[in-house]
A and B are shown apart, each in its own frame.
Chain A
């Protein structure tokens, strides 16, 4: 199983300031079809998760452009350019390159 490791596990950010979350996989997420199936999800308090980013850097439909993803191989990053109050929640990276699909431990984002 591919192990996903996120850092930090919690982050306190001032409104309007940037935030960054790292995700590292225990092996390369490059699929044999040439794609890398690394996505980012947001879980607001009391809600189910929702997808923000797919295939490393592609914003999903309806996701604000302050969210961006980058990386390759085993190292990936989610960035929020200017944190807003509605961004509070837990962020997860997820790999779907190899079964079983696995998630990072989650990073809790709070407002300072």
Chain B
């Protein structure tokens, strides 16, 4: 079964650092992009960036570039989303999702498998 397992809920103070994880299983981790998606409370979805674990190529959404770091460790099939200094405005649910680009010769470009999400609360 293809699965993305995300790390647990976090409560942090402004200025603290944080790293979220997303462990993949059931498929070849290095063959699919993984995206990080933010959902603020009661709001819509925003793609923060995507990473190709095969070569660690990262494409950031300019709105998030410089604020977060996306990385992956293919030895443990895990992707990461990291902040060095959190702000209250980072309070949100964060999802990782697998991007199916092509499969069996068919072009998809959809986020076909989603993790359950990690709630991050940043408050003093």
Binding site for B on A (CB under 8 A): 1, 33, 35, 37, 39, 41, 43, 48-51, 54-55, 60, 92, 94, 96-97, 99-106
Give the docked Cα–Cα distance between A100 and B64 (Å).
Answer: 10
Let me know if A48 and B110 touch, CB within 8 A: no
Q: A33-B107, A35-B107, A100-B62 are in contact. Are A51 and B49 (CB under 8 A)?
A: no
Contact of B114 among A50, A60, A102 (CB under 8 A): A50
In the complex, B92 has a CB within 8 A of chain A: no
Q: Are A94 and B107 in contact (CB under 8 A)?
A: no
Chain B 76-124 residues near chain A, CB threshold 8 A: 95, 97, 99, 107-112, 114-117
Say how far B35's CB is from chain A's closest CB, in angstroms. 7
Kindly list chain A residues whose C-beta atoms are within 8 Å of the C-beta of B31: none
Known: A39-B110, A60-B110, A100-B49. A48 touches B117 (CB 8 A): yes
- Tell me if A51 and B111 are in contact (CB < 8 A): yes
Known A-B contacts A48-B95, A60-B112; A103 and B44 likewise in contact (beta carbons under 8 Å): yes
A105 to chain B, nearest CB (A): 5
Assembly CA distance A5 to B35 (angstroms): 22
Interchain nearest-CB distance for B42 vs A (Å) = 10
CA distance A94 to B44 in the complex (A): 11
**Most chain A CB neighbours (cut-off 10 Å) among B35, B50, B110:** B110
Q: How far is the CB of A101 from chain B (nearest CB, A)?
A: 4
Jot down 24 A-B pairs with beta carbons below 8 A, ordered by A.
A1-B61, A33-B107, A35-B107, A35-B109, A39-B111, A48-B115, A49-B97, A49-B114, A54-B108, A55-B107, A55-B108, A60-B112, A92-B44, A92-B45, A94-B45, A96-B109, A99-B59, A101-B35, A101-B47, A103-B44, A103-B47, A104-B44, A106-B44, A106-B45
In the bound assembly, the distance between CA atoms of A105 and B46 in angstroms comes to 10
> B61's closest neighbor in chain A, by CB?
A100
- Which residues of chain B are near A49, meaning CB under 8 Å? 45, 95, 97, 111, 114
In the assembled complex, the Cα of A58 lies from the Cα of B55 at a distance in Å of 30
Which residues of chain B come closer than 8 Å to A99, judged between CB atoms?
50, 59, 61
